[in-house]
Amino acid sequence: MNAHPVDRDERTVAVENASYRWAYLVLSFGLLVIVMYRSFAWRESAWDLLGLVVAGGIVPLLYQSSNHILSTRSAMKLLVAAVVGGLLAGCMILLRQA
pLDDT digits (tens, 9 = 90+) for 22-77: 998 999 899 989 988 998 899 888 888 888 888 888 888 888 888 888 888 888 98
Its pTM stands at 0.66
Angle between helices 47-66 and 10-41 (to 10 degrees): 150
pLDDT digits (tens, 9 = 90+) for 77-94: 888 988 998 899 888 888
Among residues 59, 64, 63, 84, the alpha carbon closest in space to that of 74 is found at 64
